[in-house]
Amino acid sequence: MEKGMKILWMMAAAMVTAAVPPAVLAADVAPAAAFVTLGTGGGPVIRRERAEPANAVVVGDSVYLFDVGAGTERQMVAAGLSMHKVKAVFVSHHHIDHNADLGQILASRWMFNSYQPLPVIGPPGTARMVADLVAAARTVELAPIGGGPGGKPPLASTVKAADLDAEMDEPAEIYRDANLRVLAVTNTHYHFPPGSPQAAFSRSYAFRIETPGRVYVFTGDTGPSKNVERLARGADVLVSEVINLDSMVGILKRAPDLKPAMLPSMIRHMEQNHLTPVEIGKLATAAGVKEVVLTHLAPGEDGERDLSGYVRGIQPAFMGPVRIASDLQRF
């Protein structure tokens, strides 16, 4: 996998300390790891109670971001996480609710003097998107910044973007450093006809994050997927998106602009491109995970107090612990 090897080489070149494979680090002496759900709302709707999708894996004081929807930087502050400690950013797919804060994060690091090149890894188009964000911030670079002798380095020098391979059916390592390693597969969030312009560029990924003491698998947005099942085998925690289909159908039926004839195709889209509780239960059991954490709640509306629709159906397929995440929780 030539592109994958290129990513690994680039990550190694950007590191300031030698990488140590996580397997070499004994769990009893390794920094404690946590998966922080910075934003748990599903979709691009801005809410009061749930921020847009964003997550952080924290190992010691090092931070790794997995999706960066709108408000990610503010949620990091609320979680007590420093932008200066971010070691890498991983984007699961290029829907706006998963990448909206990327430009803000890059500019903020530069503004506050974090110049170590930041790996940004995501679907095809990520490198171009980062280049475009850097170009869009050129006016910011040229604006006067008070204090201190000497100038700041170019924003472009503080980021290293890389595209994942378009097809990754088997788990493949895409990043490794002294704290963790990350593997990825393509998932089934997209179902565009082969040969269409959308099919050429639309890719979505799930990530496996292996720390010395715990293994997390983050599904990203996906429908039922054998690739994700393989990726999740034996994981300690499956962090999964979830859709309450009944609630979503109710919302669609109330939508003034939706013609009734469109409803069946919309339901089919949601069933294929997202995970219902029943499918999450099947996935968790087939993969042999120990625990399930639900995030990216759809619809995840403000004022939603009855959350049973997000878990109903996970049992009896999966009888292990299931938790519904709120913003800023740690797992």
Residue-range domain boundaries for the chain: 2-23+32-143+152-330
Q: Do the Cβ atoms of 46 and 38 come closer than 8 Å?
A: no
pLDDT the model gives residue 25: 43
pLDDT digits (tens, 9 = 90+) for 185-204: 999 999 998 889 888 889 99
pLDDT the model gives residue 201: 81
Rounded to whole angstroms, the Cα distance separating 68 from 56 reads 9
* Phi, psi of 234, rounded to the nearest 5 degrees: 75, 10
pLDDT the model gives residue 15: 39
Strand order in the sheet with 172-176: 172-176, 181-186, 205-210, 215-218, 237-243, 291-298, 322-324
User: pTM of the full predicted structure?
Assistant: 0.90
Which of the residues in the chain have pLDDT under 70? 1-30, 146-150
pLDDT digits (tens, 9 = 90+) for 81-107: 999 999 999 999 999 999 999 999 999
Residue 321: which of 230, 198, 238, 205 has the closest Cα?
238
Rounded to whole angstroms, the Cα distance separating 112 from 169 reads 39
Considering the segment(s) 2-23+32-143+152-330 as one domain, its CATH architecture is 4-Layer Sandwich (3.60)
